[in-house]
A and B are shown apart, each in its own frame.
Chain A
Amino acid sequence: QKEVEQDPGPLSVPEGAIVSLNCTYSNSAFQYFMWYRQYSRKGPELLMYTYSSGNKEDGRFTAQVDKSSKYISLFIRDSQPSDSATYLCAMNSGGYQKVTFGTGTKLQVIP
């Protein structure tokens, strides 16, 4: 079993839709959770960073962490064609510990 599981997609939605991206994990030591966006032929870019359980909102993006279920989500409201990219979840146990990435979900927002 992989430490971090992420549905690879692809996920195709119409412009304006609410998108839900999810990851599950098995390591209960993970406390820091991140979402990265990666455009084609570019490096990943940090979108959201949360610590422990709860919600965090930044504009159209909301990150949700449920440590009891070992489940994290990223919601994108009013999705735009410019949101079309691969979204990677990532997590670690803190300090300078290794960050483990999911395989990424490819999202396409259709105008």
Chain B
Amino acid sequence: EAGVAQSPRYKIIEKRQSVAFWCNPISGHATLYWYQQILGQGPKLLIQFQNNGVVDDSQLPKDRFSAERLKGVDSTLKIQPAKLEDSAVYLCASSPTDNEQFFGPGTRLTVL
């Protein structure tokens, strides 16, 4: 079974630039999550999709972050404009059930 795919793996941008991350979940997984993991911290949920509907986006900074899940499969997360404090690893996860989450390798973002 193929795992969760994410791209790019690494991205370096300057503050105020925009950036987009892509996630392809495990086939058949209805739930998709985007997390932000700052160095030395646990993952923090940004947004949770059930199929192509949003279940929870309470911690998504909506003035600069946006996410969509196309046709209930792939998803993109965008940051525009980026700030220095957005430097983190962005993890995508998918789940066939309500708790068993499978994580991708993450995208490491550095904002200069």
Chain A positions within 8 Å of B, measured between CB atoms, are 4, 6, 8, 32, 34, 36, 41-46, 49, 88, 90, 92, 94-99, 101-104
Contacts and interface: CB of A to CB of B under 8 A. Distances in A.
A64 to B, nearest CB: 18
B93 A43 contact: yes
Contacts of B102: 46
B101 A94 contact: no
A8 B91 contact: no
Interface string B101-112: 111111010000
Interface residues of B, number: 25
Contacts of B41: 103-104
B42 A49 contact: no
Interface in B6-60: 31, 40-45, 48, 50, 55-56, 58
